[in-house]
Amino acid sequence: MSKKKICMVGDFSVGKTSLTQKFVNNVFSEKYLTTIGVKIDTANVGHTKLIVWDVAGRDSLSSINASYLVGAAGVVLVADGSRPHTVDDLNDIWSTVTQRIGDVPAVVALNKADLDDWGVGDDKVTEFRSLGWDVFNTSAKNGQNVPELFERLVEKINA
C-alpha cells in the first residue's frame, strides 16, 4: 500500500481540523480548539494510505510553518465560506506552498456550507477552477462533500 502525505492549509478556524476529523473519525465538534503546530492522522483511501497533516492555521501571530509542508504529495486549501477574506487568503497561502514544495496537486474546500451567511462569489470559484483546482462546498458539520474532497485529491496525486 502506498503512503501519501497531504497537508490541510488555510486560515485559522476555517475547519481544517474539523474536516480532517470528520473524514478520519466521522466526528464533529462545535467547540473551537486552536491547533498548535501539527496533528497527524491517517486514513485509507482506496489503496492509498493517506497521512493527513492538520497544520496550524495562518493567524495574527504566525504564518504557516513551511517546514510542515516538506514531503507533501498534495494539499487541501481550506477556507470558511462565511468569512470571505479567508477565501481571498488562499492565493497567498498557495504561494507559500509552491515556494516550498512546488506546484503539487490541490483541492479547495469552501467549508461551512451549512451556514446561511454564505459569502463566496461565483467569480472566485471560477478563478480557482482556472488555477486547476477542484472546488468543493463542504461542511464538516453535516459531512457534505467531505469524502469527495479527499478522494479527489488522492485521484489527482495518483494520476
Ligand X SMILES: Nc1nc2c(ncn2[C@@H]2O[C@H](COP(=O)(O)OP(=O)(O)O)[C@@H](O)[C@H]2O)c(=O)[nH]1
Q: Is the sign of the CA dihedral 69, 106, 156, 54 positive or negative?
A: positive
| Backbone angles phi and psi of 121, in degrees to 5 | -80, 155
Q: Name which of 48 and 149 has its Cβ closer to Mg ion.
A: 149
Least Cβ distance, residue 31 to Mg ion (angstroms)? 12
Distance CA 151, CA 105 (A): 12
Distance CA 28, CA 12 (A): 17
Q: Which stretch binds ligand X (CB under 6 A): 45-53, 87-95, 126-134, 135-143?
A: 135-143
Give the contact letters, 3-32, x = binds to other proteins (CB under 8 A), - = no: xxx------xx------------------x
Least Cβ distance, residue 121 to ligand X (angstroms)? 19
For cell 498557495, name the residue: 94
Does 35 bind Mg ion (CB under 5 A)? Our answer is yes
Does 141 bind ligand X (CB under 6 A)? Our answer is yes
By CB under 5 A, name the one of 4, 6, 14, 17 that touches Mg ion: 17
Distance CA 147, CA 138 (A): 10
